[in-house]
Amino acid sequence: MLIKHKKGWQETENSVTDESVYINRRTVMAGAAALGAAAVVPSALAQRDRVLAPLAARPTGYNSNESLTPEAAVTQYNNYYEFGTGKGDPFQNAWQLQPKPWSIVVDGLVDKAGTYALEDLIDFNALEDRIYRLRCVEAWSMVVPWIGVSLASVLKKIEPQSGAKYVRFETLADRAQMPGLRWPVLDWPYTEGLRLDEAMNDLTLLAVGLYGKEIPNQNGAPVRLVVPWKYGFKSIKSIVRITLTDTQPDTSWNISAPREYGFYSNVNPDVDHPRWSQKRERRIGEFGRRETLKFNGYGEMVADLYAGMDLRANY
Ligand SMILES: Nc1nc2c(c(=O)[nH]1)N[C@H]1C(S)=C(S)[C@@H](COP(=O)(O)O)O[C@H]1N2
Ligand SMILES: [Mo]
């Protein structure tokens, strides 16, 4: 495969560190631009111009006593390669995405296959507040107040058949909206997958909002997955297709580097990435490093899913 750009995952731990410092500076600069030098960053302004409606959601037990990562970092330090491989690229470029109206194709081993309007799959009157840690495979992390519904609630609606064992997800791949698609950094469209029992676990969220509002384009508007016990790349953005299958689906990262990115990708401090340690992480906005927790700290809810499995072989 032709790789023209340095990929995020090719960074050393040190450069990741540098970037988390850089975002703080960049956030300050973006604020300064809004105050005075607006014309210098027109695309960033265009992004901010999309009015994000407030979303009403009920509080849940999915909470955290940790400090939330500042909203500016959550929305300006992103991985969304369809808009570029730099951490600031999605914030700069994702204004080109048109998240409304949005439809999702549901197919494969389901009784209720079809093309659904987003509002017909997700009950916007039953949204939940859920604060989750997100741990990127690049050894940084955030704490994000998401709004969404359990994926299980949506799967129940589409009625998986008895032969269904996996769920495959696909992101939009439209060159007119996504400038990053011009580079073959991944096998577009971005695809991801979960085993059906992982997908049905109550932790697994379909997010349509964050920080009390609709989800910004760069975070995966209008709907993205959040699987908090797995590395961030499993949490696929801007979903246009959900397919139930009887075989383990291919995923973009696994195709691109199978030795580095397995299908399971559970957060695991005991299994290093081939090119760096996963023992510690930098919480964006903090100095120093934290110990990474097995299953990102969600073991109580998910460890049973992997009983008897060798998590080194099934990385
Ligand atoms: N379609 C798509 N989904 C994606 C990605 C991507 O490049 N394309 N990046 C993933 C990675 S590596 C991470 S860490 C998270 C980042 O989510 P955030 O930008 O909302 O923090 O999104 C994931 N989902
Ligand atoms: Mo990531």
In a domain, 1, yes or no: no
C-alpha 154/C-alpha 55 separation (Å) is 19
The single-letter code of the amino acid at 146 is W
CA 161–ligand 2 middle distance (angstroms): 32
CATH number, domain with residue 47? 3.90.420.10
CA 65–ligand 2 middle distance (angstroms): 23
For residue 208, the enclosing domain spans 16-306
Smallest CA-to-CA distance from 190 within 217, 158, 166, 225 is with 225
In a domain, 138, yes or no: yes
Q: Give per-residue pLDDT as tens, 272-307.
A: 999 999 999 999 999 999 999 999 999 999 999 999
Q: 64: buried, middle or exposed (CB in 10 Å: 19+, 13-18, 0-12)?
A: middle
β-pair partners for 192: 169
Q: What's the mean per-residue pLDDT of the chain?
A: 88
In a domain, 6, yes or no: no
Domain count, the chain: 1
Q: Give per-residue pLDDT as tens, 244-260.
A: 999 999 999 999 999 99
Q: Ligand 1 pocket check: which of 233, 236, 241, 296 to mutate, most ligand atoms within 8 Å of Cβ?
A: 233
CA 235–ligand 1 middle distance (angstroms): 6
In a domain, 298, yes or no: yes
Segment 19-29 mean pLDDT: 39
**Tokens representing 92?**
């700069």
Give pTM, 2 decimals. 0.88
The whole-number pLDDT of residue 45 equals 53
Task: Write out residues with Cβ below 6 Å of ligand 1.
Answer: 78-82, 134, 136, 171, 190, 219, 232-233, 235-237
Q: 74: buried, middle or exposed (CB in 10 Å: 19+, 13-18, 0-12)?
A: buried
Task: Say how many residues make up the chain.
Answer: 315
Q: Ligand 1 pocket check: which of 9, 187, 235 to mutate, most ligand atoms within 8 Å of Cβ?
A: 235
C-alpha 132/C-alpha 282 separation (Å) is 16
Smallest CA-to-CA distance from 26 within 73, 95, 74 is with 73
What band does 50 get if pLDDT is binned at 50, 70 and 90?
A: confident
Surrounding residues of ion ligand 2, Cβ less than 5 A: 79, 136-137, 232-233
Query: Do the beta carbons of residue 283 and residue 290 sit within 8 Å?
Result: yes
**Tokens representing 7?**
């990929």
Query: Do the beta carbons of residue 103 and residue 223 sit within 8 Å?
Result: no
Q: Ligand 1 pocket check: which of 75, 78, 80 to mutate, most ligand atoms within 8 Å of Cβ?
A: 80
